[in-house]
Structure 1
Amino acid sequence: MIKLLKVLHIVGLIMLLVGVGLYWQSDIGQQVSGILVIALLIGVGTLIMSPLPVALVIEWSKKQSPNLGSKE
């Protein structure tokens, strides 16, 4: 599951970078359709990226939970 989320995270990061690159490097952001494409790339990219950190925190907390009750 984590491997799939890592792949999706990388794909989302690429989409985010392409959207920001289009905004900075081209005149496509001056048209309504260009604005929609850029917003779609950035929005979907960040949406795809978001589950991985949550899954990593949940996985980390599951590994830490047996140690909560122990006294060292």
Structure 2
Amino acid sequence: MQKNVINYLKMLHWVGLSMLLCGVGLYFFTELTQQVTGMMIVASLAGLGMVMMSPFPIALFLQWAQAQNQDQ
């Protein structure tokens, strides 16, 4: 069960990273950010990407802490 959750969070992490990189790429390499809709697209991609990436490191830390607790 726990392994499935980690795999799901890992998949979300990679999807979030790709969304963040897509937003950064649009920001630096297009003129899309000169319009309000473009600003909304770039901000949404970057923001949602970062939100999707955030649970995975926390889950890894909790898994590590639980393993440390079991070793003692």
- 2:43 pairs with 1:33: no
Counterpart check, 1:51 vs 2:58: no
Aligned match of 2:9:
5
The corresponding residue for 1:65 is 69
Identity %: 47
Q: Which runs of 4+ in 1 moved over 4 A?
A: none
SS of the equivalent of 2:44 reads helix
Mark the runs of 5 or more structure 2 residues left unpaired by the alignment.
none
> Which amino acid is the alignment partner of residue 13 of structure 1?
L
Which secondary structure does the structure 2 equivalent of 1:55 belong to? helix
Based on CA coordinates, which of the two structures has the bigger radius of gyration? 1
Does residue 21 (structure 1) correspond to residue 25 (structure 2)? The answer is yes
Root mean square deviation of aligned Cα: 0.7
Name structure 1 gaps, 5 residues minimum.
none
Q: How many residues align?
A: 68
One-letter amino acid of the counterpart of residue 25, structure 1: F
